[in-house]
Structure 1
Amino acid sequence: MSKKKLDFRPNEYVVYPAHGVGQVVSIEEQEVAGIKLELFVISFEKDKMTLRVPTNKATEVGMRGLSSPDEITQAMTTLKGKARVKRAMWSRRAQEYEQKINSGDLIAIAEVVRDLHRTDDQREQSYSERQLYEAALERLTREVAAVGGGDELAAQKKVSDVLMSRAAAA
């Protein structure tokens, strides 16, 4: 993996794999154990959390810019697909879903939403299925919103419409 330093500016939105969409608030220098570090200060407003990521580690942890509109379209196409549910035990599947959600990869996150989405006439979701589904849905929606100009309600409707059209076609 290259040690290339990512170049994000204050006010820019980024995706941090384990937390989703955040906004670079500033870039600051701090001295830690006698070593000067340059840090991206990232705010996750919805989670009321601030993260400081060393600028030279951003690539390593998988931090990236927002998806392109093309990638959003690709994620929506993924949502329309047929759910692929492996016949593995739930604990194994849950682990895979968790990894996809935390990968920061929008297409992988869309796959989780697609695979765990339930319509009203389908069997109930277990608590852990629901948790994973909601986490993936939230990540997807926030990034769709950020790419589309920040309107989370419009993004929710967009995602919901795609899921409903898929259910209607089934």
Structure 2
Amino acid sequence: MAKKKYDYSPNDFVVYPAHGVGKIVSIETQEVAGFELEMFVIAFEKDKMTLKVPTNKAEEVGMRSLASADVVADCMKTLKGKAKVKKAMWSRRAQEYEQKINSGDLIAIAEVVRDLHRADDQREQSYSERQLYEAALERLTREFAAVGNGNETDAGNEITDTLQSRASAA
């Protein structure tokens, strides 16, 4: 039987919308309800989680390659922008932020980080605001690190410095 060609191969980093950056460990065949199903086996080391995604559903569920350097540069521009906070009720905004984080869209995630970032002299964040901010920041940091040199600390510092320079320029 000829090997099929996939968009991804083992050791590739991919982004799964609901979980962020993972690494394809293998492509395996599994029998499900009497059918042979090929699966990408994706490891999310930080979360100590493994996910199996049918190869024919990868695109449908929004799995994608890491962002390009251009997209990362656009994210940095987004982070430098002015925070856009709608006047809607928090529950509605929180829902929108959650959707952006789980969309897997790096620019949308950068918008959440930008909009929820608080400088030291600003009012305190609520617990749920802080949770969303940290989730978005973690997703952004992991992908920046995977695209760049692989160092999450450096990626995190770069993002934080960008946010702080924006705050001090305001």
Q: Same fold (TM over 0.5)?
A: yes
- C-alpha displacement of 1:149: 2.4
Deviation for aligned residue 1:6: 5.3
Q: Look up the match of 1:17.
A: 17
What displacement does 1:130 show?
A: 0.2
**CA offsets, 1:65-109, max 9 Å, x none?**
000001000001000000000000000000000000000000000
Deviations along 1:107-165, one digit per CA (max 9) or x if unpaired, are 00000000000011100000000000000000000000000021111101110110011
The CA distance in 2 between the partners of 1:140 and 1:96, in whole Å, is 17
**Corresponding residue SS for 2:39:** strand
Aligned-residue sequence identity (percent) comes to 77
1:23 aligns to what SS in structure 2? Answer: strand
TM-score normalised to structure 2 length: 0.96
How far apart are the structure 2 equivalents of 1:59 and 1:94?
27
1:121 is aligned to 2:150: no
Equivalent AA in structure 2 for residue 104 of structure 1: G
Aligned partners of 1:109 and 1:146: how far apart in 2?
16
**DSSP 3-state at the match of 1:101:** helix
Counterparts of 2:31 and 2:7, CA distance in 1: 21
TM-score, normalised via structure 1 length:
0.96
The residue type equivalent to 1:51 in the other structure is L
Determine the structure 2 residue equivalent to 1:97.
97
Distance 2:14 2:164 in 1: 29
- Structure 2: stretches of 5+ with no match in the other structure: none
Give the letter aligned to residue 11 of structure 2: N
CA contact (8 A) 1:6 1:59 kept: no
Equivalent residue for 2:34?
Answer: 34
Query: Residues of 1 paired with 2:54 and 2:137: CA distance?
Result: 28
Unpaired runs of 5+ residues, structure 1, are none
Q: How many angstroms apart in 1 are the aligned matches of 2:6 and 2:17?
A: 15
**2:76 partner amino acid:** M
Could you tell me whether the CA contact under 8 Å between 1:141 and 1:156 is conserved in 2? yes
- What residue identity is the alignment partner of 1:19? H
Asked if the contact 1:6–1:58 (Cα under 8 Å) also holds between the matched residues in 2, the reply is no
Q: Which amino acid aligns with 1:89?
A: M
User: Is 1:61 aligned with 2:61?
Assistant: yes
